[in-house]
């Protein structure tokens, strides 16, 4: 997909649009994934920044395919402000993720609206039965968001990740089609 082609996926909410990632998203994504405040709860935590080549390769891969990953770029107020997606799609379930990289859009309900759009797509369009995610147990903001979305804590994985030499726990959370808020 060239930078001028129209995106293949577009999901519109009141304040948020989800679309297929495009090559022009790479520079901003690189900035976010180099920011320790943005990545402190992500698998990148304590490991430095994500190389630009890796970001470009990811965008090239997901912009040309709907499965086994469905990545989205999140726009608000006409600006690319975050990313997310569904991966490990197996026909019944998928792993969910969302990151709001532009700090001024955090804490404004943007992540909730973007997540609802992506979850409705997962259940209504893709026909999935469950969506699951992994979240660090100390990421209170994310836990609150995911529980408001209807996710339940299924399994606590003690010491699942080591950040700066310290073991951190993670929760596996799941959401069924029947449990998504209306």
The pLDDT value recorded for residue 3 is 47
CATH annotation of 10-132: 3.40.630.30
pLDDT, one tens digit per residue, over 138-150 is: 999 999 999 999 9
> What is the rounded CA–CA span in Å between residue 82 and residue 73?
6
Q: Provide mean pLDDT across the span 153-158.
A: 97
2 pLDDT above the threshold of 50: no
Indicate the burial class of 167 (C-beta count within 10 angstroms; 0-12, 13-18, 19 or more).
exposed
The full set of domain ranges for the chain reads 10-132
- CB half-sphere exposure, 44, CA atoms < 13 A: 16
DSSP line for 143-170: HHHHHHTT-EEEEEEEEEEEETTEEEEE
Question: Which three-class secondary structure string do you get for 34-46?
Answer: CCHHHHCCCCCCC
pLDDT, one tens digit per residue, over 80-98 is: 999 999 999 988 999 999 9
Q: Provide mean pLDDT across the span 1-10.
A: 57
125 pLDDT above the threshold of 50: yes
pLDDT band at 1 (very low <50, low <70, confident <90, very high): very low
27 pLDDT above the threshold of 90: no
171 pLDDT above the threshold of 60: yes
Q: What are phi and psi for residue 127, nearest 5 degrees?
A: 75, 25
Quick check: helix, strand or coil at residue 138?
Answer: coil
pLDDT, one tens digit per residue, over 159-168 is: 998 888 899 9
């Amino acid at each position: 997909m060239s930078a001028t082609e129209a995106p293949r996926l577009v999901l519109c909410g009141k304040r948020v649009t989800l679309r297929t990632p495009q090559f022009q998203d790479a520079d901003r994504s690189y900035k976010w994934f180099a920011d320790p405040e943005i990545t402190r709860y992500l698998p990148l935590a304590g490991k430095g920044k994500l190389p630009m080549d890796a970001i470009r390769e990811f965008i090239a891969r997901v912009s040309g395919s709907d499965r086994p990953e469905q990545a989205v770029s999140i726009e608000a107020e006409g600006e690319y402000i975050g990313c997310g997606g569904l991966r490990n799609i197996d026909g019944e379930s998928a792993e969910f993720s969302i990151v709001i990289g532009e700090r001024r859009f955090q804490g404004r309900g943007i992540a909730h609206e973007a997540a609802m759009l992506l979850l409705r797509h997962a259940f209504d369009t893709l026909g999935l039965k469950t969506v699951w995610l992994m979240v660090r147990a100390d990421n209170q903001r994310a836990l609150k968001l995911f529980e408001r979305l209807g996710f339940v804590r299924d399994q606590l994985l003690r010491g699942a990740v080591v950040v700066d030499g310290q073991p951190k726990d993670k929760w596996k959370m799941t959401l069924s089609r029947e449990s998504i808020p209306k």
